[in-house]
Structure 1
Amino acid sequence: MSKPWLLVSPASRGIGLQLARHLLKTTDAPVIATARNDLGDTSEQILDGLDVDKQRFKVLELDVTDEDTIARASSHCNQLFPTSTHHLRLAFCIPGILHPEKSLQQIEYNNALSTFKINALGPLMLSKHFSGLLPRKSVQLDPSDNLPPSAVLALMSARVGSISDNKLGGWYSYRASKAAVNSIAKSVDIYLQQRCGEKGMCMSLHPGTVKTGLSEDFWGSTPKEKLFSVEFSAEKLVNVVNTVGLGGRGKCWDWEGERDSTMNDQGWR
């Protein structure tokens, strides 16, 4: 039986930090978190107040805009968890940045380029370097509590990434980068079907509006019942990846476990 390990990248703040904490609290599997810098501070924040075995947790340096750091982190994980005995069971690949653009005139080239590098190329490069650590078709997975039955690469999308649901415009580079994430999730899942069969899949996730620095400009305009805490969001996202199953592969799912058809079938037209 292949033993599981888990990845959250990045995990230095916001949803990623809480996902790492939630997985440490609710599973027995080793958890790898990543951060661009301040690895010690990130580790302290994630472990703060948790009564868990610290030996099953590690923070690695990884910058999604620097492929060398992604490759090094992947190689380090492969050394820690050889595929002869372990496989990546759940990976949250969730880099994100937002530069609000209410009009075309507000688009700045460097900001838009940064948005695509982090929001779209980030999860694509994470998928490139970590997909090889997922189980192949012949691997027997160790049944584990509070983990998905098949390995999952989960990429962070957003409802504004839907093409057919776009009624307001604006947020040009952010919308386009999240639409790209949905396309990436579909293509990566096709690759995983060929490589992993039913043992591995990819999906994208819509977390709702979460009270993080990324969404701070919109807290005031969001109804209180629709503005989620990071703890609530992390719990809901983990529940989604644990319960959707293989029928949800290659698709986008929201925090309630509802398939967002505007980001799937209609979104590709």
Structure 2
Amino acid sequence: MQAWALVSPASRGIGLELARRLLRTTSIPVVATARKDVDHTRAQILGDLRNVEEDRLHMLELDVLEEQTIQNAAQEAGKLFPKKDSYLHLGLCVPGLLYPEKAPSQIDYDDALLTFRTNTLGPMMLMKHFSNFLPRKSTSVLASPDLPKQAIWANMSARVGSITDNRLGGWYSYRSSKAAVNQTTKTFDNYLRTSAGDKAMSIALHPGTVKTGLSQEFWNNVKGEKLFSPEFAAEKLLDVINSRTIDDRGRCWDWKGEEIPP
């Protein structure tokens, strides 16, 4: 069986670096998505990578706000990797959008709706159209020291999505959308328990504060040692993914491998 990985989106920030790191540290094909300018994204991902087979990278156009593009991308992935002889070993779902409302009066309806469409419905629609590529109970899962023992679908969450950990308030739409991501992750994992047994599981991830456009407004408020580069975040997140066991399923893990409570 041929294993492959999905990174969506991969046009910048953590997603781009996840795709680059998978190409460097594994031997499996990587499907990376971008909303537009897929050739430009391909060039960015390959960049200065050395000793990497460029044909391992497959670029697909996909906009998490447009379900038809997700369906089209899944159909293209199915042509590249027919389910009869391949399966999705890593699904890395990383869309993100943040409007930092500090008080209820700052909540804008359209901005909040876009936040949920991106952060919550985006991963949900990716699950809808790509979940069939994950292993079934009968699938022979690839054994490799560079990959987790079981297939993993990982949704990008955030510490502020934890209701238990919410002591400061604010960021209403972002917090709520990420709490919903955690619930979606758990619900999807319950589905995988039935469809895949211990061959596949779903987890959520918190990358810390990463130096990307999403967090740029807050860089000056973060201690230097707590503000991570996208390269560092990608390395740590893949380390966390690769070190998970089946008992870790359905939960949210930070970049250090520590559980974040719901």
Q: Which moved more, 1:8-17 or 1:240-249?
A: 240-249
Which residue does the alignment assign to 2:4?
Answer: 5
Which residue does the alignment assign to 1:28?
Answer: 27
SS at match of 1:244: coil
Deviation per CA, 1:132-174, whole angstroms, max 9, x where unpaired? 0001001111212311111100000000011121111110000
Unaligned runs of 5+ in 1: 264-269
TM superposition shift of 1:244: 1.1
SS at match of 1:137: coil
Which residue does the alignment assign to 1:137?
Answer: 137
The 8 Å contact of residues 135 and 200 in structure 1, kept in 2 or not, is answered as yes
Which residue does the alignment assign to 1:175?
Answer: 175
Which residue does the alignment assign to 1:152?
Answer: 152
SS at match of 1:33: strand
Which residue does the alignment assign to 1:217?
Answer: 217
Residue type of the partner of 1:96? Answer: G
Q: Does 1:240 align with 2:240?
A: yes
SS at match of 2:196: helix
TM superposition shift of 1:3: 1.8
- What is the aligned-residue identity percentage? 56
The 8 Å contact of residues 3 and 141 in structure 1, kept in 2 or not, is answered as no
TM superposition shift of 1:260: 1.3
Q: Counterparts of 2:155 and 2:219 in 1: how far apart (Å)?
A: 23
The 8 Å contact of residues 152 and 200 in structure 1, kept in 2 or not, is answered as yes
Residue type of the partner of 2:130? Answer: F
Residue type of the partner of 1:138? Answer: S
TM superposition shift of 1:74: 0.7
Deviation per CA, 1:96-131, whole angstroms, max 9, x where unpaired? 000111111111110000000000000011111111
Deviation per CA, 1:15-71, whole angstroms, max 9, x where unpaired? 000000000000010000000001011000000011211111111000111111111
Which residue does the alignment assign to 2:40?
Answer: 41
Q: 5 Å matches for 1:25-174?
A: 25-51=24-50, 52-174=52-174
SS at match of 1:124: helix
SS at match of 2:77: helix
Paired residues in the alignment total 261
Question: TM-score with structure 1 length normalisation?
Answer: 0.96
SS at match of 1:220: helix
Give the alignment's Cα RMSD to 1 decimal.
0.7
Which residue does the alignment assign to 2:255?
Answer: 255
Q: Counterparts of 1:136 and 1:148 in 2: how far apart (Å)?
A: 16
The 8 Å contact of residues 210 and 230 in structure 1, kept in 2 or not, is answered as yes
Q: Counterparts of 1:103 and 1:59 in 2: how far apart (Å)?
A: 40
Q: Counterparts of 1:24 and 1:106 in 2: how far apart (Å)?
A: 42
Q: Which moved more, 1:142-151 or 1:188-197?
A: 142-151
Residue type of the partner of 2:9? Answer: P
Unaligned runs of 5+ in 2: none
Q: Counterparts of 2:239 and 2:32 in 1: how far apart (Å)?
A: 19
Deviation per CA, 1:152-202, whole angstroms, max 9, x where unpaired? 000000000111211111100000000000000000000011101111100
Question: TM-score with structure 2 length normalisation?
Answer: 0.98
Q: Does 1:197 align with 2:221?
A: no
Which residue does the alignment assign to 1:185?
Answer: 185
Q: Counterparts of 2:144 and 2:85 in 1: how far apart (Å)?
A: 15
